[in-house]
Structure 1
Amino acid sequence: MASRLAQVAAEATARPGLFGGKARAFYLEVCRCVPFIHKAMRLEELVSVREIRAVIKERFLEFKDVTDPRVIDMLIFKGREELEVYLTLHKQRHHAISEYLDPILSKKMAFPKPPSSNSAFLDQFLSGNYISPTAK
């Protein structure tokens, strides 16, 4: 027999409006699969599991304002399909890197632009906003 706390938790998660319903359950399912994908794709050298989960969280938060149940079901279906493709390793390492990890890697590798020692005219000319004085 399950404990009282387990029964209350099961009842609470069964209610559709509480704790996000199907979308939250799918999010937790994806988060549970991340360590396997991380290891199978050999992503240890690039990012941590925590960073991958942060990217997944950002992807879920893109659709936080969606309230139509049909659209939510369609998004979950597409997400589940994507997850299955990664779990069966039909998508390779470079797909995971280019689709999900490039935003993280570009933020990590971004170098600040050094201050320019050029004149304002030369900076404007080099930036491509130069307007020829003869063009009217």
Structure 2
Amino acid sequence: MTTASRAMTQLASWPDLSEARPSCGTGRALRSPGAEIVHFHSGRRVDLHLTARMIHHFESDLRHSTAIRLVPGSHWMTVRLECDTDIDLLMTLVSVALQAHHGRPDPDGTPPPPCNDHLSAVLAPQHADSG
């Protein structure tokens, strides 16, 4: 069982999440009543709809994680799931995403912002020794 399938199994049991077809058309998704929350694109890569506001709020911390990839201006972040610690990180971030979307559902008729699956300009984490 891949790390993504283990994470999907755990998250699918959460009462605020249900399986849905991802708006990007790739993989599997979980959504809350108000928004798409997570897209599982591969056995190790997941896009999480944290919201641009929350990504900006936590950006300095997120950039230090080797598991996180950020795309400028995106409402989504990509999480690489390599080990159980990455799954734990995803669980925490999904909880934050649910809080970010609570009371702020996607407006009817408005498609969700696109996930990072089809974007090629994903930024690598910044490291103090790079440059």
Normalising by structure 2, we get a TM-score of: 0.28
Higher strand share: 2
Normalising by structure 1, we get a TM-score of: 0.28
Higher helix share: 1
